[in-house]
């Protein structure tokens, strides 16, 4: 075997791995990158990019149908083969940025094979022995398919295969009502599929129940059947479709079934035991600086077993670069990471939900501004939703929940506020343009101070000030 001795060995060519490789190389470090599958990882090929491209098409179709209330009559004709082309044209347009050729042009040695640790300091990959000063594991995750009897024989779709469809399913059953299940189920429904979402607990269970209720009502109003508190006991082929038998109630018949029941970290082929790297039920064990139990090895992104979002993986990568290249102390703070679910309306969260905040601080309170009171929302007839600010008993911003047409964009301001320690008084006093949805956040913050101004001593002080000449 050929021996390579780079400064950094990166295992995984997804968001986190590519960010580390590009940044470290630009600072003069020799980098070897191993990727056995597609460059760009899940985000580019079967995650964020294709799903948001699908959702964009679904939003356009739904906008045409709902335009009647605005005085516009239109009935969209969905050509799903064209939607498929749109999805893959977006992927193809971004792919060169993540390509092997680009990274080799940056000076990175790219090996297209699985990498495996043989000891604490050595990796073997594609006929090479690699001994690097520091190593980064960023192998991502894959869909977790539950062991439901008969499910495999029903050829289930996952996020890795659903974007290969060239025909719109007439009837689609979705197992799992989390973010992925609700996003894709909602999108296919707006494109014209008859969608049933099956969830063992409640949909969007990680979100504020008030937020989940808004999405549940909106999807149900558009025709999505949502069955909560049920489990799929077995699946069988029936004619050209499939039938899902449930723990209670009538069975569900569909043309295709989509599984969205969580994800599993890609760690099996890494030989982690040989490297002295411990794992958890959700991935690789890391400390707050994203180091594994082998101090020379970092684990980033989904494989670290925590928040599974592309922007989190990118942030992990930036922290790893600071630690490896600049030898700076770093600390990952998951409470500052925003998240968004791109249903219609969207749901976004940063920090603690209302329930989580009150568990941590019984004096915590929520201040909510409904979109029904927002002029911009009223002009577009999109008044389902709200902005909710959660403040501690001492008035510190602990979290923000947004349900709105552009919640994923709106949450950024509150993520910045929490990261920078901005006080609610600043949110209450800033001036957003009118009319915009961002006014709702200001209205929510103003409620907190309006209560303080109603205290008896304030009225006493104002009365004295009034008497001044």
Is the same domain home to 352 and 420? yes
Please confirm whether the linkage preceding 435 is cis (ω < 30° from 0).
yes
What's 59's domain CATH number?
3.50.50.60
DSSP 66: H
Burial zone of 275 (CB within 10 Å; 0-12 exposed, 13-18 middle, 19+ buried): buried
pLDDT at 240: 85
pLDDT at 454: 66
Distance CA 275, CA 284 (A): 12
Give the strand pairing for 346-351 and 397-404. Answer: antiparallel
Nearest alpha carbon to residue 340 among 282, 391, 401, 382: 401
What's 433's domain CATH number?
3.30.390.30
In a domain, 460, yes or no: no
Distances in whole angstroms, Cα of residue 344 to Cα of each of 159, 211, 261, 384, 469: 19, 12, 21, 10, 56
Which residues form the domain of 171?
Answer: 152-262
Is the same domain home to 379 and 321? no
Q: How many CB atoms lie within 10 A of CB 342?
A: 24
Please confirm whether the linkage preceding 345 is cis (ω < 30° from 0).
yes
Last residue of a domain, one of 335, 353, 369: 335
Is the same domain home to 325 and 377? no
| Structural domain total, the chain | 3
In a domain, 215, yes or no: yes
One pLDDT digit (tens) per residue for the chain, 469 residues: 799 999 999 999 999 999 999 999 999 999 999 999 999 999 999 999 999 999 999 999 999 999 999 999 988 999 999 999 999 999 999 999 999 999 999 999 999 999 999 999 999 999 999 999 999 999 999 999 999 999 999 999 999 999 999 999 999 999 999 999 999 999 999 999 999 999 999 999 999 999 999 999 999 999 999 999 999 999 999 888 999 999 999 999 999 999 999 999 999 999 999 999 999 999 999 999 999 999 999 999 999 999 999 999 999 999 999 999 999 999 999 999 999 999 999 999 999 999 999 999 999 999 999 999 999 999 999 999 999 999 999 999 999 999 999 999 999 999 999 999 999 999 999 999 999 999 999 999 999 888 766 667 767 777 887 788 8
In a domain, 461, yes or no: no
pLDDT at 453: 66
pLDDT at 34: 98
In a domain, 467, yes or no: no
Is the same domain home to 164 and 298? no
Is the same domain home to 163 and 244? yes
Is the same domain home to 169 and 127? no
The DSSP line for 190-243 is: HHT-EEEEEESS-TTTTS-HHHHHHHHHHHHHTT-EEEES--EEEEEEETTEEE
Phi then psi for residue 52, to 5 deg, are: -75, -25
In a domain, 469, yes or no: no
pLDDT at 200: 97
pLDDT at 458: 67
Tallying the residues shown for the chain, one arrives at 469
pLDDT at 87: 98
Is the same domain home to 10 and 133? yes
In a domain, 189, yes or no: yes
Q: How many CB atoms lie within 10 A of CB 27?
A: 11
In a domain, 316, yes or no: yes
Distance CA 439, CA 452 (A): 21
pLDDT at 75: 87
pLDDT at 461: 73
Is the same domain home to 229 and 361? no
pLDDT at 468: 85
Last residue of a domain, one of 242, 262, 282: 262
The DSSP line for 266-326 is: S-TTS-HHHHT--EETTEE---TTSB-SSTTEEE-GGGGSS---HHHHHHHHHHHHHHHHS
pLDDT at 469: 83
In a domain, 340, yes or no: no
């Amino acid at each position: 075997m050929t021996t390579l001795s780079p400064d950094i060995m990166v295992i995984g060519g997804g968001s986190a791995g590519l960010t580390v490789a590009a940044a470290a190389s630009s600072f003069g470090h020799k980098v070897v990158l191993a990727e056995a599958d597609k460059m760009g990882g899940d985000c580019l090929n079967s995650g964020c990019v294709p799903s948001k491209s699908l959702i964009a098409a679904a939003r356009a179709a739904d906008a045409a149908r709902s335009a009647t209330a605005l005085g516009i009559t239109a009935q969209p004709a969905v050509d799903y083969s064209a939607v498929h082309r749109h999805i893959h044209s977006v992927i193809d347009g971004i792919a060169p940025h993540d390509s092997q050729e680009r990274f080799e042009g940056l000076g990175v040695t790219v090996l297209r094979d699985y990498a495996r640790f043989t000891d604490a300091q050595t990796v073997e990959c594609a006929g090479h022995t690699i001994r690097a000063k520091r190593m980064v594991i960023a192998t991502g995750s894959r869909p977790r398919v539950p062991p439901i009897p008969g499910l495999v024989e029903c050829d289930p779709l996952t996020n890795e295969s659903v974007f290969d469809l060239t025909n719109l399913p007439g009837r689609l059953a979705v197992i799992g009502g989390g973010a992925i299940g609700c996003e894709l189920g909602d999108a296919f429904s707006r494109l014209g599929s008859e969608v049933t979402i099956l969830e063992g607990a409640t949909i969007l269970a990680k979100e504020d129940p008030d937020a989940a209720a808004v999405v549940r009502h909106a999807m149900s109003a558009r025709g999505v059947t949502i069955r909560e508190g049920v489990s799929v006991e077995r699946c069988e082929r029936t004619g050209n479709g499939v039938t899902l038998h449930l723990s209670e109630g009538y069975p569900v018949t569909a043309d295709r079934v989509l599984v969205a029941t969580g994800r599993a970290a890609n760690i099996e082929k890494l030989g982690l035991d040989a490297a002295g790297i411990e794992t958890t039920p959700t991935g690789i064990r890391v400390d707050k600086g994203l180091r594994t139990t082998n101090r020379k090895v970092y684990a980033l992104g989904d494989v670290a077993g925590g928040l599974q979002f592309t922007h989190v993986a990118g942030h992990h990568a930036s922290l790893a670069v600071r630690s490896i290249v600049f030898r700076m102390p770093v600390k990952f703070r998951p409470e500052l990471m925003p998240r968004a679910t791109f249903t219609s309306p969207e749901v976004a969260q940063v920090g603690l939900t209302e329930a989580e905040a009150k568990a941590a601080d019984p004096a915590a309170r929520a201040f909510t501004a409904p979109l029904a009171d927002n002029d911009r929302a009223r002009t577009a007839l999109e008044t389902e939703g709200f902005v909710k600010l959660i403040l501690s008993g001492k008035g510190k911003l602990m979290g923000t929940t947004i349900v709105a047409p552009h919640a994923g964009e709106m949450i950024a301001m509150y993520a910045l506020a929490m990261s920078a320690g901005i006080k609610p008084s600043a949110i209450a006093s800033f001036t957003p343009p009118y009319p915009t949805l961002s006014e709702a956040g200001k209205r929510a913050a103003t409620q907190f101070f309006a209560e303080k101004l109603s205290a008896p001593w304030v009225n006493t002080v104002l009365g004295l000030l009034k008497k001044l000449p």
